Structure 1
């Protein structure tokens, strides 16, 4: 249990990828803070866990600076330190650029990107007091470097996450805080059993991804044995972004 008694904050932990990340750290002996706006869903997960004594919920709207400040303060008060931060909270919006409003644009950017800056800034203030520093993982996306139509706000936020990751890695290096990002591809979080054969076969891995694939990537990047890895992005997409795709007759 390489994460025994380490304190981990996971934003957006109440469902999907965030839930799997939180559950994996709990199984590895960590103390995990579920930072989310959905208290009911988070508490249902915690109460059903075999490791509920090591889990806590702190209601957090990552769009709000004061919520983030309180998240870090309460975590330190309850557990004494912060070792790992997983900036996972995010939202997607598929809407024509001709109809996308400024408020909608800013909501996505504040949720996905500004929150990474704020959470990392506040967590680092506490991490730098640790003997072994800490580790931050930011959830980017393969949409940081490839797109579909009508994804401007989401793609921009995920590209920004990839860029702020290597900036933070430089800024926090002297405090022994490693900072990396993960770019998931297609990760099916709800109806895996309903996927078609072609959905799986188009991947080099021959399957669509699962939340656990991203959780294991987080465990790898935040393992103290791997602290030589910092400032980089790990693409976890079943090989989709390295394929050359042409229209054929």
Structure 2
């Protein structure tokens, strides 16, 4: 059997770090792309050099992505999974009338443009590894909003639209789905100098019908399923992983 290869953007910390360690632990070779060189260096100490290729890269910049995929093409001749996970974690951009075009573009480029660029550059490798999969990490903010999250919501909603557009165009060789995380605690999955233990109140937990805040492992398991043969009849879908929070009606007091 050919050893499978996954590419994880935003792989240095948070959900991306969890994905890198999961797939590496399952015997895959993994490419981790991230802007944070310190986080990537820490990851490299955890895995054999033959199993991980860590590339410092701003996936919202076209030339960075092109150069990164040249390196990836020299490292492997086929890819079986691309996870477009990169993005700006903070969704709040302030009042609309104060939102500059530059700031707007920073959210759009970090998530939506990045997914387009990485998918485009990965496509020949994904076809070589077919049947293969792309999983876009969107957000429940694509479905509902809090105030002053315009650019983040637009980027994540665009990822959902990009998902079904790619699914109908890239099949049957490549399946494309999106995962929409809700509140996911990523504190324990940061690089060492930024790591934090979770501290959730009863009110935090009560917002979720399942009774707890989400864990990185919850998203990892969803992505792993979408990447596997058991999801071979699933494409173009949005999988919400939020503990039921977006189904709960909250009334103002």
- TM-score bracket relative to the smaller structure: over 0.9
Mapped contact 1:76–1:82 kept (Cα < 8 A): no
Residue by residue, what CA displacement relative to the aligned partner does 1:170-203 show, whole Å, maximum 9, x if unpaired? 01014x1000000000001114531111111221
Is this contact kept in 2: 1:204–1:238, CA < 8 A?
yes
**Preserved CA contact (<8 Å) 1:75 1:82:** no
1:64 matched to 2:61? The reply is yes
Matched, 1:109 2:108: yes
Aligned residues of 2:79 and 2:128 also touching (Cα < 8 A): no
Gaps of 5+ in 1: none
Distance 2:220 2:2 in 1: 16
Question: Which residue of 2 is the match for residue 181 of structure 1?
Answer: 178
Partner of 2:221: 216
Tell me how far 1:45 sits from its aligned partner.
1.8
* Residue in 2 that maps onto 1:206: 211
Aligned partner (choices 231, 234, 237) of residue 242 of structure 2? 237
SS at 1:215's partner residue? helix
Q: Does the 8 A contact of 2:107 with 2:152 survive in 1?
A: yes
1:140 matched residue in structure 2: 138
Q: In the alignment, which of 46, 58, 63 is matched to residue 48 of structure 1?
A: 46
Please, which moves more after superposition, 215-224 or 187-196? 187-196
Q: Which residue of 1 aligns with 2:193?
A: none
Per-residue Cα deviation, 1:137-171 (whole angstroms, up to 9, x for no partner): 00100000100000000000000000110000001
Report the Cα distance in structure 1 between the residues aligned to 2:198 and 2:180, rounded to whole angstroms. 23
Paired with 1:194 and 1:226, the residues of 2 have a C-alpha distance of: 34
Q: Structure 2 length as normaliser, TM-score?
A: 0.91
Q: RMSD between aligned alpha carbons?
A: 1.6
Q: Where do 4+ consecutive residues of structure 1 move more than 4 Å?
A: none
The structural deviation recorded for 1:61 is 0.7
The residue number in structure 2 matching 1:120 is: 119
Q: How many residues align?
A: 243
Relative to 1, partners in 2 of residues 1:115 and 1:24: Cα closer, same or farther, differing over 3 Å? same
TM-score by length of 1: 0.93
Residue 6 of structure 1 and its aligned partner are, at CA, apart by 0.7
Cα distance, 1:150–1:247 mapped onto 2, change above 3 Å: closer
